[in-house]
Amino acid sequence: MTGSKTFMQAVFQRLSTPLGLCTALALLAGLDGWWWSGMSSENGAAYWVATILLIGTVGCLIWCLLGFLRIFDRYIWGQVWSAAATGVMVLSGVMVLGNVYKKLDQLLGDAKLPVTFILEFVGLVVPFSLIFTIPWAFLTAILLVFGRLSADNEMVALRMTGTPMWRICLPVFVMAVGLSGVCFWVNVHMAPAAKNRMKRLFYDVATDNPITLFQPGRVLDKFDAYRIYTEKRTEDDELRNLQIIEVDGTRVKQFIRAKSATLHHQPGTLDFVLKLKDANIELVKEDGSGVDPVHLGETQITFPLSELKEKTERVNASMKSTSELWTEVSTGIDTYSKQPLDRENMSVSKTELSKRYSFSLACITFALVGIPLGITAQRRETTAGFVLSLMTATAYFVFIMVAETLNSNTSVFPHLLMWVPNIVFLALGGTLFYKLSHK
């Protein structure tokens, strides 16, 4: 009780200073600005001014707390922070490199790309990795640090000074709140915008240099009516030994085999022309009874990049901004097609919103669960802590993924299922922490 009073006295003492009063006013102004701007950067200056005020408020609040820090506060904070930061960098590096190589290889193969494109692509992949790596690295850090503190009897020494368990863990809880704020920003703002931009990035590259669509040894299926296989592409961008199948739905219309081909762009249009040389064409009869062979010394096919643009402009719920999803939920109208949403699509929008907010609380949930698990495990080994964190994080993320796969099934209320992991783990963590505090 005395520790609690001392803590409150230190905080109020600092808040009563001019800087503290400015902090309180900045907090109120920032929250008010965010409210009126709809928490969306699309609403201009009000959003950014409010964001700057809130960031300044957080800094001032941390300054207020510094007056109450003890040596063990700085020690625990430093241990957990360094371990968590290292974990985020390592895990994000692995996830980013894996995703970048896989996506670029799938989309553009061995095409020569400008450095600016690759850097932008890497920057767009980072937010997706942070959604998972920040909570996971934080949980791993807690398990490693508190497991070692318990194994070395440092936790016993702290408890023998009469310091309550909640006070020992206060730096971790403060860090959890801060990291949850970062996760909120990533989930609600960064990740949707990055996913939307990433989808359009491929179209931009294809428009600037359509030859990148044709990768040797791969089938191009970006156009609904054609399947194109290129055996070789020369240094001067001539395509060799092409095999083209034109389809109409599920019916094959014709087979085309050409010795070589070159690309030509039509000025003023999004389309490009593929000029074929020495082409053998087999026209499939409508009744499917056979083919009519034709040989042409030279012919051409027009490919509509406008169709590719239409595909990139189709967005799903995960690509929409949070403000757009809130608009859909409140009005029942799709923000892009302007058509009324059916029950399934309304459920998808609600589930995506719940996912973004639920995921933002993962660090707080993991802090409450990780501290008792780490102290109980009493392990110094890094491997043991990593395995325990992997099991805990996997169980949490599996809940989220299951709810996401059911996002259009209105009968199971998937938007509410998104909150089940936090409720379950917070209840479990609260129970374990209570028992640990009363040992």
Please give the helix or strand (H or E) that residue 382 lies within, else none. Answer: helix 382-405
Q: Does 287 have pLDDT greater than 90?
A: no
Q: What pLDDT score was predicted for residue 373?
A: 85
Give 385-425 pLDDT, tens digit per residue. Answer: 567 777 877 888 888 888 888 887 888 888 888 898 899 88
- Nearest to 203, CA basis, from 312, 320, 108: 312
In a domain, 323, yes or no: no
Q: Does 297 have pLDDT greater than 60?
A: yes
Give 164-189 pLDDT, tens digit per residue. Answer: 888 888 889 988 988 888 888 888 88
Which tokens in the block code for residue 321? 């901004």
The string of DSSP letters for 29-47 reads HHHHHHHHTTT-GGGTHHH
Query: In the 3-class helix/strand/coil scheme, how is 195-234 assigned residue by residue?
Result: HHHHHHHHHHHHHHCHHHHCCECEEECCCCCEEEEEEEEC
The amino acid at 316: N
Residue given tokens 């095999």 in the structure block: 243
The amino acid at 89: M
CA gap 322, 315 in Å, rounded: 13
What is the reported pTM? Answer: 0.71
For 47-82, b/e burial (b = at least 16 CB within 10 A) is: beebbebbeebbebbeebbeebeeebbeebbebbbe
Q: Does 369 have pLDDT greater than 60?
A: yes
In a domain, 215, yes or no: no
Q: How many domains does the chain have?
A: 1
In a domain, 59, yes or no: no
Please give the helix or strand (H or E) that residue 412 lies within, else none. Answer: none
In a domain, 260, yes or no: yes
In a domain, 68, yes or no: no
In a domain, 254, yes or no: yes
What residue numbers bound the domain in which 231 lies?
Answer: 224-303
In a domain, 274, yes or no: yes
CA 306-307-310 angle, to 5 degrees, is 90
Query: In the 3-class helix/strand/coil scheme, how is 173-198 assigned residue by residue?
Result: HHHHHHHHHHHHHHHHHHHHHHHHHH
The mean pLDDT of 368-377, rounded to a whole number, is 84
In a domain, 363, yes or no: no
Which tokens in the block code for residue 375? 């102290």
